Structure 1
Amino acid sequence: MGQCMGKHEIDGDDSDEHVEFAKGNVHLVTTKEIWDQKLSEASKDGKIVIANFSATWCGPCRIIAPFYCELSEKHPSIMFLVVDVDELTEFSTSWDIKATPTFFFLKDGQQVDKLVGANKPELQKKITAILDSVSAA
């Protein structure tokens, strides 16, 4: 449901494409160094990280991006990241991304959950579950 499986060609300059993906408290990850830095920050602050692996050409990614940004503003205790699978191809491959968007939920750099597809209710449910588990710990 709501996933893209392959890359489509887009004509023209897409330098402004990230604007809608990285609003609110969403951090755009453009290098492995930024990824490592953000994960280190999150671990130090005891924050859960949600990493959205998406693509600018992916319809479902574009549809869920504003919702993801909203969630980032509602949940400041979570670090929200977005990774463009085309910009960081090798890095994304290391995460075994089969479809976009794919959301990884990380605690101390380790995956604790995953969601494939632009499923708003399920994304909200997983965030609530993770927040509940952290507050219960």
Structure 2
Amino acid sequence: MGLCFSSSSADEDEPAKNPHFVGGKVTCVTTKDAWNQKLSEAKTQGKIVIANFSASWCGPCKSVSPYYIELSEKHLSLMFLTVDVDELTELSTQWDVKATPTFFFLRDGQQIDKVVGANKAELQEKITAIAGSQVPGDQKQP
């Protein structure tokens, strides 16, 4: 998603210039430090992270993005992130992203599931199941 620009300002969460990729409750991650900060924040808050690895040149990424934004507004107990595979190549390689979009579901920074491709039905099904399985903070299961 070449439109998730890194800015020189201290605000890593500044929305991208292109409304097709961020909006609602989706945060565009532009640096590895911001990624680590968001994962740490999610762990502290007991939230599961949905990370969308996508690219500006990817047609399916563009088509599923508004739906991803819509899901972020419905499932406030989850943290929704977008990562540009071209901007954060190192992170994309670390997560072994071979196709865009790829959606990772992370608990405490560890992958618990993923969806490869712009399959809206599968994405909604997994998000709904994961959101429904979350247990509030101090009542976490072992």
TM range (shorter): 0.7 to 0.9
Please say if 1:120 is aligned against 2:129: no
CA, structure 1 residues 117+75, in 2 after alignment: closer, same or farther (shift >3 Å)? Answer: same
| Counterpart residue number, 2:69 | 69
Classify the secondary structure of the residue corresponding to 2:134. helix
Classify the secondary structure of the residue corresponding to 1:19. coil
Shift of 1:14: 9.2
Deviations along 1:95-131, one digit per CA (max 9) or x if unpaired, are 1111000000001111000100000000000011112
| Counterpart residue number, 2:21 | 21
* Cα root mean square deviation, aligned: 2.1
| Counterpart residue number, 2:45 | 45
Pairing of 1:1-137 with structure 2 (within 5 A): 18-135=18-135, 137=141
Classify the secondary structure of the residue corresponding to 1:87. coil
Q: Matched residues in 2 for 1:121 and 1:14: separation?
A: 26
Q: Matched residues in 1 for 2:42 and 2:90: separation?
A: 23
TM-score under structure 2 normalisation?
A: 0.82
* Count of aligned positions: 126
TM-score under structure 1 normalisation?
A: 0.85
CA contact 1:48–1:108 (8 Å) conserved in 2: yes
Structure 1: unaligned runs, 5 residues or longer: 1-9
Deviations along 1:19-41, one digit per CA (max 9) or x if unpaired, are 32111000000000000010111
Q: Matched residues in 2 for 1:108 and 1:133: separation?
A: 15
Classify the secondary structure of the residue corresponding to 1:21. coil
Moved more, 16-25 or 107-116: 16-25
CA contact 1:18–1:56 (8 Å) conserved in 2: no
